[in-house]
């Protein structure tokens, strides 16, 4: 039996804080549950073991082909839809630095000639993902805009959307987390990527350098607050969104006071959640907590800890 509980209420458990943005409840109607809780947990548990990876060429019928497909964006230049299969049953497939996590399904493809890329931000909504031992989020939890991809010379635009992500509680899929996606489009995607690279790295990079990412993390907003001022980009006509009040999810471009995503809160940077065994001596890890701790990406600074 496929079970999904509705909007989560705060419980007595310390690990469930629940600081939900006002848009969260509006996103819940999109949620698609395609597994039974027991079926899903039995499958996923196998690949939570050390050394196990859920590659695209395994579990095709039992996992990949059963994932729900969601509308993520509509191109503001030609109107073509971007749909992706995504696992919203849990955080299992959402960690790491690969911005293609959202589109990891083997059948997903670039939808139109204007597509530049999609960045995703995983917001825990104040919850601690105690169902996992570790969860790493490279791009952060508060959506930002990359100005270099929206230059006037590029005839470019971005589309913001959000989906709820569940975890299994009391044998039911319960929405707890949010993924925010910012999808970029331009008349010439290659030119947009190249221009962004030139502005980010005017002196270039060394031949032995790691691949240069297209996106920045939420932490850029500490240096440049304008990148997280989403309403500003709506007012400039650069940022659009899918209308959550309409079941067809049409593209909206204004007015700015109807924009549903202003004021999203979070740690505002890359983060790593980690749950460790209790240390033998407390002085070895003074920040230890049985429900885990959220650190910065290097795991040297505590960003959030259960009270």
Asked whether residue 183 is assigned to any structural domain, the reply reads yes
pLDDT at position 110, please? 67
Asked whether residue 61 is assigned to any structural domain, the reply reads no
Measured torsion, CA atoms of residues 222, 126, 44, 52, in degrees rounded to the nearest 10: 40
3-state secondary structure (DSSP) of residue 78: coil
Asked whether the whole model's pTM tops 0.85, one would answer yes
Asked whether residue 167 is assigned to any structural domain, the reply reads yes
C-alpha to C-alpha distance for 301 and 307, rounded to whole angstroms: 16
Asked whether residue 215 is assigned to any structural domain, the reply reads yes
Asked whether residue 292 is assigned to any structural domain, the reply reads yes
- The pLDDT tens digits of the residues spanning 172-225 come to 999 999 999 999 999 999 999 998 888 877 766 556 555 567 899 999 999 999
DSSP alpha helices (H): ranges in the chain?
Answer: 24-27, 37-46, 189-200, 220-223, 230-235
Asked whether residue 6 is assigned to any structural domain, the reply reads no
Measured torsion, CA atoms of residues 32, 35, 36, 37, in degrees rounded to the nearest 10: -80
Residue 290 pLDDT exceeds 70: yes
Give the total number of structural domains in the chain. Answer: 1
Asked whether residue 193 is assigned to any structural domain, the reply reads yes
Asked whether residue 123 is assigned to any structural domain, the reply reads yes
Average pLDDT estimate for 82-101? 78
| Domain span holding position 242 | 24-56+66-304
């Amino acid at each position: 039996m496929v079970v999904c509980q509705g909007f989560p209420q705060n419980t007595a458990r310390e690990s469930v804080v629940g600081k939900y943005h006002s848009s969260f409840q509006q996103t819940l109607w999109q949620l698609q549950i395609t597994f039974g809780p027991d079926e899903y947990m039995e499958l996923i548990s196998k690949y939570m073991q050390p050394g196990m990876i859920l590659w695209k060429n395994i579990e095709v019928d039992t996992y990949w082909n059963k994932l729900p497909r969601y509308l993520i964006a509509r191109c503001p230049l030609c109107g073509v839809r971007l749909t992706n299969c995504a696992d919203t049953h849990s955080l299992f497939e959402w960690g790491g630095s690969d911005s293609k996590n959202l589109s990891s399904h083997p059948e997903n493809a670039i939808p139109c000639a204007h597509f530049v890329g999609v960045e995703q931000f995983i917001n825990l909504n104040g919850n601690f993902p105690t169902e996992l031992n570790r969860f790493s989020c490279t791009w952060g939890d508060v959506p930002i805009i990359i100005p270099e991809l929206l230059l006037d010379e590029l005839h470019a635009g971005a589309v913001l959307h959000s989906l709820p992500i569940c975890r299994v509680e009391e044998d039911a899929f319960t929405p707890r987390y949010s993924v925010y996606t910012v999808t970029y489009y331009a008349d010439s995607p290659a030119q947009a990527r190249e221009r962004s690279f030139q502005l980010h790295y005017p002196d270039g990079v060394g031949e032995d350098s790691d691949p240069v990412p297209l996106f920045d993390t939420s932490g850029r907003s500490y240096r440049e607050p304008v990148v997280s001022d989403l309403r500003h980009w709506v007012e400039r006509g650069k940022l659009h969104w899918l209308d959550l009040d309409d079941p067809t999810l049409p593209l909206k471009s204004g007015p700015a006071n109807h924009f549903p995503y202003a004021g999203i809160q979070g740690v505002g940077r890359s983060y790593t959640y980690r749950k460790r065994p209790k240390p033998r001596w407390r002085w070895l890890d003074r920040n230890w907590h049985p429900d885990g701790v959220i650190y910065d990406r290097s795991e040297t600074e505590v960003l959030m800890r259960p009270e």
